[in-house]
Amino acid sequence: MGAKSSNSASNVLLERLRKLPMKVKIFLGLLLAAIALVLFKSTIRRRFYFFLASEIINSVGIIALTYKLFALKTCSGLSLITQELTALFLAARLLSSKFTVDNIYSVIDLISLSATLVIIWMIRFKLKSSYIKELDNMKLYLVVVPSAILAILIHPLLAQGRIAGIVMAFSFYLEAVSVLPQLRFMQNAKMIETFTGFYVFALGVSRFMALLHWIIQIYETKGAFLFLAGSGYFWFLAAFVAEMVQSFILADFTYYYIKRCLNFVS
């Protein structure tokens, strides 16, 4: 009885939040983010843990997709285009890391790329019959071309040369919008498949943790953290905005996903 009452109260709260003006929603979102930032900063001493948490959560989402593909033998509700974009930005990031530093970030990206390529292979060949191409209708070039143009115009100035900077910037920008085809797919389908929804939710939480990592690093190093990724007139701002854009794109879905889960429980 108590649990049911609690769920009802949560639903009422979410419904009231939904009816708030957009400006109020943005303000509340920023306020909650600031509170979370302070709490995490005061309780987590090593900044690396933010990155680690981000990658672990992202890995959980990938594991959910892998289970869906191999155990349930279906790729329904999954956007092939988003997976292809993910593989592309991971490959670009690995290429740029070869130009810069060889570290744990590259190892994690390599593992993620390998898993993504397996997912693409499963969708294209093994589970092709369950893939709904008609709903996955966002054109690849609409995401790739603007990211490439922006990377050419705004990129870090690296000692390794201009090409390395462009490739790095391209991976940043493409990652920020790579989830759009998946969101478009779910919008077209007018439903959220369980494992796919969890995957996107995990992406949202992962990006939030990554954003916190960025903000804390910038704050604690008084901006010096930005210079670790090269220099450039607009690069610092563009890279941070790309991270923000991705977080906000996923924030809306995360909100409705939590609401859906609460409705299901109640």
In a domain, 89, yes or no: yes
pLDDT of res. 174: 94
For the stretch 122-151, pLDDT in tens is: 999 999 999 999 999 999 999 999 999 999
Mean pLDDT on 236-259: 77
* Domain presence at residue 159: yes
* Residue 65: count of CB within 10 angstroms of its CB: 22
The answer to whether residue 4 sits within a structural domain is: no
Distance CA 97, CA 168 (A): 8
Instruction: Provide, rounded to the nearest whole percent, the portion of the chain with pLDDT above 90.
Output: 28
Contact 171, 155 (CB under 8 A): no
Average pLDDT taken over every residue of the chain: 78
- Is 31 part of any domain? no
* Tokens 């956007």 belong to residue: 79
Task: Please tell me the total count of domains within the chain.
Answer: 1
Amino acid at 145: V
Assess if residue 40 is contained within a domain. no
- Determine, yes or no, domain membership for 231: yes
Q: What is the DSSP string of 92-148?
A: HHHHHHHHS--SHHHHHHHHHHHHHHHHHHIIIIITGGG--GGG----THHHHHHHH
Q: What are phi and psi of 170, to 5 degrees?
A: -60, -40
Conformational region of residue 201, where left means phi above 0, alpha means psi within -120 to 50, and beta covers everything else: alpha
Q: Which residue has the tokens 């060889």?
A: 102
DSSP letters, 10-44, are HHHHHHHHHHS-HHHHHHHHHHHHHHHHHHHHHH-
DSSP-derived 3-state class of residue 78: coil
Distance CA(191)–CA(86), nearest Å, equals 22
Write down the residue that tokens 């990155």 correspond to: 51
Evaluate whether residue 1 is within a structural domain.
no
**CA 100 – CA 180 distance, rounded (Å):** 29
pLDDT band at 210 (very low <50, low <70, confident <90, very high): confident
Range of the domain at 234: 46-265
When mean pLDDT is compared across 122-131, 170-179, 209-218, the lowest value belongs to: 209-218
CA 188 to chain centre: 20
pLDDT band at 20, cuts 50/70/90? low
- Is residue 7 included in any domain, yes or no? no
